[in-house]
Every structure is written in C-alpha cells, then in structure tokens.
Amino acid sequence: MLTVVHELIHGITWGIFAEKHFQSINFGVIWKMLTPYCHCSVPLKKWQYVLGAAMPTLVLGAGLGVVAIMTGNLVCLYLAEFMTLGGGGDFLIIMKILRYHSDKEDQVYYDHPYECGVVVFEK
C-alpha cells in the first residue's frame, strides 16, 4: 500500500510542475513484477524532476521518521526505514542527474517512458 502512496507522491509533485498538470501524469502497474509506477509524459526542469523524485522518500521516509521519534512509535520507525530504503532507486537517479554536467544552458528532463530513469534533452 505504501508503494502506491510513494508513486502517488511522485505524480502529485510532478503534476504541479507539468505543463498540463495532472493530465501529464500516468499511473500503472508492471504486472510481471507487481510494481506500481508513475510516469510524467512531459519534460521538466532539472530542479522539478529532482524534487519530484525525492518527495516520496522525504515524506514517507524522513517524515515518518520524525513522527516515529516524536511519538516513540517503533512500527512507524520501521516503516520509515523501509520507505527510506525503498526510495534508494529514486536517489540513484537523482545522483546521476546531479553528477551530469553540460555546457548547454537549455536542458529538459524527460521521465523515461518505459524504463526506470530519465532522459536529458539539451540544445
């Protein structure tokens, strides 16, 4: 269930920034792996893509972690740890984006349509 919420947070964040907002966001399931996914069908600026990629881990990992510490709830802490680990793939993509340097000033970041990751277009 939290994986679905994770993907929903991606969609909400990218939908705020996308040109056609939530009409640009698609959700689905890769049935072979029983994995829900979120896809933004329009290009975004670097900071928009990075923020959208990071938000689920920030909300469900760090956010739940803070709640767990404040309330002393161990189950909440374990969920926060699990969701932080679950966001590892997102942070690998973020690291790749942040390490990518180009002399081009005009860049857009396009969520890959059928694989995990991002494609950078520049002119």
Q: Which residue segment(s) compose the domain that 20 sits in? A: 2-122
Please check whether residue 29 is in contact with residue 37, taking contact to mean a CB–CB distance below 8 angstroms.
yes
Number of compact structural domains in the chain = 1
Per-residue pLDDT of the chain (123 residues; tens, 9 = 90+): 889 999 999 999 999 999 999 999 999 998 998 889 999 999 999 999 999 999 999 999 999 999 999 999 999 999 999 999 999 999 999 999 999 888 888 899 999 877 888 999 998
- Which residues fall within 8 angstroms of residue 123, CB to CB, at 6 or more apart? 104, 106
Q: Which residues of 89-109 are buried (b: 16+ CB within 10 A; e: fewer)?
A: ebeebbeebeeeeeeeeeebb
Residue type, 91: F
Pick left, alpha or beta for residue 120 (phi over 0 → left; psi -120 to 50 → alpha; otherwise beta): beta
- Which residues fall within 8 angstroms of residue 80, CB to CB, at 6 or more apart? 60, 61, 62, 63, 64, 65, 67, 68
The pair of structure tokens assigned to 59 is 């909300």
Please give the model's pTM, rounded to 2 decimal places: 0.90
pLDDT digit string (tens) for 87-110? 999 999 999 999 988 888 889 999
44: β partners: 109
